[in-house]
Structure 1
């Protein structure tokens, strides 16, 4: 059975998330995660022109029960479908690039929220943990 490079990348990202659940300061796991691509759902209210522009990523902000804003991203279509089955469009974005351009406002990031290895980071955590120096 052949495993595609995308499946390998998804598995690596999920292993990194599991490692971070055990040790939030695991540098190798943070590097792997920051170098991974994630699926960013395209908000329903995004127009077709913006959705098709590769230079624009509209963040799908969800309000948590406590009122705090959260952006969900996913390591695979399966993980996304578990939490947001109605999503019909998404963008594949390098997580490190997304983190480098994270809004300065208090918006959290949730990676694979429905999975046992899910990780939620505060706005500051996104910028300090996932913006990795280039080797």
Structure 2
């Protein structure tokens, strides 16, 4: 049985997150994660142009406990639906490309929040660990 490409990516990204839960310095897992696509929820207030423009990605920013801003992204639709069941639109974005253009402000990234092995990175961590040329 063939697995759709986005399911393979989700599996690769999910496996990388599981490996990083065991060893946060696993370079192979970090490379696999950085080369994976992630689902970026489109904010409710984003216009149609922001939702479809291939050169712009509107980042959904939520506040964690303590008021810290964080952008949630997900490795699969089920992971996203578990935490954000009311999201109606999302973009599939290469994580490395997203990281290479990450804002310099203090904005964290959380991958698969709500899963058994989520990964949260600071703004600096996103740019240094995940950005790929």
Q: TM-score, normalised by structure 2?
A: 0.96
* Structure 1 unaligned spans of 5+: none
Which residue is 1:26 aligned to?
Answer: 26
Unaligned 5+ runs, structure 2: none
Are residue 47 (structure 1) and residue 47 (structure 2) matched?
yes
Deviations 1:81-104 (A, max 9, x none): 000000000000000000000010
Q: How many Å apart are 1:121 and its aligned residue? A: 0.6
Kindly report structure 1 stretches of 4+ aligned residues shifted beyond 6 Å. Answer: none
| CA distance in structure 1 between the partners assigned to 2:120 and 2:92 by the alignment | 19
RMSD of aligned alpha carbons:
1.0
CA distance in 1, matches of 2:62, 2:14: 23
What whole-Å deviation, never above 9, does each CA across 1:58-82 have from its counterpart, x for those lacking one? 0000011201100000001100000
- The worse-fitting range, judged by mean Cα deviation, of 13-22 and 43-52 is 43-52
SS of the residue aligned with 1:12?
helix
- The alignment's TM-score, normalised by the length of structure 1, stands at 0.94
